[in-house]
Amino acid sequence: MKKVLITTGFVNMLALWQPVLHVLRTICLTFFFAWACTRVIRANPDIVLGDYDAEPRIGGHVDTDRLIRRLGDLGANTYMWLVWHSTNDWEDLKIFLPKAKQVGITVWVYLVPHSETALQDKRWPYSEPFRLDYIRWAEEIARLSLRNPNLTGYVIDDFWSNVRTNRFSPDYIRSMTTAGKAINPRLKFYPLMYYHEIAERSVEILAPLIDGVVAAYPPDRAAVERALTFLEDRYRLPSEATIVFPWNISSRPGHHGLLIQEAQVTDGKIAQLGFHYRDDYDGPTTGYHRLQVSVDDQVVWDEDTAGHDNSDVTVDLAKVVNGKRTVKLKLGVLDAKGVGNFGIEASFAHLTVRGLELKDTELGHGTAWSQDIAGPFAVQFRDERVGTKRFRLPLIVMPAGQAGEYKMRYHEEGTPENIAGRIKMVMDLVQNRQVQGIVTYCLDKNDGSASFEAVRKVFDSVRKLAR
């Protein structure tokens, strides 16, 4: 009987202490998490390990406590807060910021441009409450950053496609960034861009106006390293011919922009044509603009502009030129189907021939080439250009962390292994200090997510190196 009474008393005493033990456990875990995150930040003050969007919600509000917990599980030190899903997002951010500060998480406000609002599609919301007044956004974000020092800056999505006279003109961008920095000089603005957009023209316009770039969906390591040559003004571009089709213009099937030159056949049995080609579109839309090379109107090479195009190719011409003294070479872009609004810039460079003789292989001037234009196409010839290292813009890389987006962008299944492999490729650049960091796009933050766990392991490998 005494043993029963003692056991019962001990159980009752434990029951009384359970709430106290729970509070102590919560406090200890909170302090440990804060210490661990702070240690990562201090060891790597300039390395961004972050995430964007796909936040957990309760009703129309962000579940800030759960989001903080999952970012801690991931080992993130940065979060990009999208203001778009709900009219409560801006106010929820004010709740999130001090909680993020306690655990060492830096925050960026992420806004949508004109093209992702009801201005473009009536079903789409605005970033509320300041909508298209981006100067006001810069001012209010700056004021909020003074009260919350872990608010570093802001990002605007799909920025380069909205750089135009009646949207983000250079004067407007300057007014926007100046307004924010007048309140907080440390406030940063990084536009969201895509790798095919980071080029000579875009950096010439944007470099004096921005603090860095977030670039989404890296096709491969070479694409990131090529973007860095522009962001650091150390690019070297060969002479090239560029075929341009404008945005917001329609075409009909068969419209084309072609370069033509007559070639002398010196040895038809070994005839080859080599060249480098690229275009500035890497989306999935197929069947419209096609890059083509033909000899005597026979197509010998054909490539859809969809997907990532930036490569060298060699075409065997022996079957089409053998036995001939001269042939007519054509290269350019042809529309297999008419477009409604599908701009493109496609370039050819490093032209080499074997068994043929051309008057011009440099493609830097048009004297040796004639043009065949149908529709709104145009041809531009450009001499070699070299960057002069006038600026160095940091780059944050945003790979797809969501399975559907991954499949659409990379044309392979968005498995946890594939997602983590792409992030590991970026992490190598982070560790080499080539890029400022990484922010995953819409990583699945649900408990038990295999993608989350795979990415967490990659993030953890960087944290271990930082200790």
Buried b (16+ CB within 10 A) or exposed e, 152-174: bbbbbbbbbbbbeeebbeeebbe
Q: In 10 A of CB 149, how many CB atoms?
A: 12
Q: Are 118 and 108 spatial neighbours (Cβ–Cβ below 8 Å)? A: no
Name which residue leads in pLDDT, 225 or 362: 225
Q: How confident is the model at residue 32 (pLDDT cuts 50, 70, 90)?
A: very low
At residue 173, the 3 state secondary structure works out as helix
Alpha helix (H) residue ranges in 86-240? 89-102, 134-147, 170-183, 200-206, 221-231
Whether the predicted pLDDT of 35 surpasses 80: no
Query: In the predicted model, what is the mean pLDDT of residues 261-265?
Result: 95
The per-residue pLDDT for 275 is 96
- Rounded to an integer, what distance in angstroms lies between the CA atom of residue 74 and that of residue 454? 10
The per-residue pLDDT for 26 is 43
Give how many domains the chain has, as a whole number. Answer: 3
34 membership: H or E segment, kind and range: helix 2-43
**Percentage of the chain exceeding pLDDT 90:** 81
The per-residue pLDDT for 411 is 85
Cα 164 from chain centre: 20
Based on the fold, state whether residues 27 and 105 are members of the same structural domain. Answer: no
Report which of 142, 149, 153, 141 is spatially closest to residue 104, judged by C-alpha positions: 149
Based on the fold, state whether residues 269 and 310 are members of the same structural domain. Answer: yes
* The model's pTM: 0.81
Based on the fold, state whether residues 216 and 245 are members of the same structural domain. Answer: no
Domain that holds residue 24: 1-43
Based on the fold, state whether residues 333 and 222 are members of the same structural domain. Answer: no
φ and ψ at 213, to 5 degrees?
-140, 140
Name which residue leads in pLDDT, 278 or 308: 278
Q: In 10 A of CB 175, how many CB atoms?
A: 13
The per-residue pLDDT for 17 is 52
Q: How confident is the model at residue 461 (pLDDT cuts 50, 70, 90)?
A: confident
DSSP, res 345: E
pLDDT, tens digit, 9 for 90 and up, residues 94-153 = 999 999 999 999 999 999 999 999 999 999 999 999 999 999 999 999 999 999 999 999
The per-residue pLDDT for 248 is 84
Based on the fold, state whether residues 264 and 382 are members of the same structural domain. Answer: yes
Based on the fold, state whether residues 77 and 113 are members of the same structural domain. Answer: yes
| CATH number, domain containing residue 421 | 3.20.20.80
> CA 293, 296, 297, 301 torsion: positive or negative?
negative
Query: In the predicted model, what is the mean pLDDT of residues 6-28?
Result: 45
The per-residue pLDDT for 352 is 94
The per-residue pLDDT for 247 is 86
2-43 and 64-74 are packed helices; what angle lies between their axes, rounded to 10 degrees?
70
Query: In the predicted model, what is the mean pLDDT of residues 416-440?
Result: 94
Whether the predicted pLDDT of 37 surpasses 50: no
Based on the fold, state whether residues 143 and 265 are members of the same structural domain. Answer: no
**Percentage of the chain exceeding pLDDT 70:** 89
Name which residue leads in pLDDT, 40 or 269: 269
Q: In whole numbers, what is the pLDDT of the chain averaged over residues?
A: 89
pLDDT, tens digit, 9 for 90 and up, residues 147-194 = 999 999 999 999 999 999 999 999 999 999 999 999 999 999 999 999
Based on the fold, state whether residues 313 and 422 are members of the same structural domain. Answer: no
Based on the fold, state whether residues 124 and 254 are members of the same structural domain. Answer: no
Report which of 55, 163, 158 is spatially closest to residue 105, judged by C-alpha positions: 55
The per-residue pLDDT for 314 is 97
Whether the predicted pLDDT of 256 surpasses 90: yes
Written as six digits, the tokens of 178 are 């100046």
| CATH number, domain containing residue 274 | 2.60.120
Based on the fold, state whether residues 417 and 285 are members of the same structural domain. Answer: no
Q: Are 229 and 235 spatial neighbours (Cβ–Cβ below 8 Å)? A: yes
DSSP, res 400: B
Report which of 246, 251, 336, 261 is spatially closest to residue 294, judged by C-alpha positions: 261
Based on the fold, state whether residues 187 and 205 are members of the same structural domain. Answer: yes
**Total residue count of the chain as it appears in this document:** 467
The per-residue pLDDT for 367 is 84
- Rounded to an integer, what distance in angstroms lies between the CA atom of residue 228 and that of residue 225? 5
Of 354, 369, 386, which residue is a domain's last?
A: 386
Written as six digits, the tokens of 319 are 């079957």
- Rounded to an integer, what distance in angstroms lies between the CA atom of residue 245 and that of residue 35? 54
Written as six digits, the tokens of 62 are 């962000």
- Rounded to an integer, what distance in angstroms lies between the CA atom of residue 20 and that of residue 170? 59
Cα 9 from chain centre: 63
Based on the fold, state whether residues 364 and 404 are members of the same structural domain. Answer: no
Whether the predicted pLDDT of 197 surpasses 60: yes
Q: Are 132 and 119 spatial neighbours (Cβ–Cβ below 8 Å)? A: yes
At residue 200, the 3 state secondary structure works out as helix
Q: Which residue has the tokens 């670039």?
A: 215
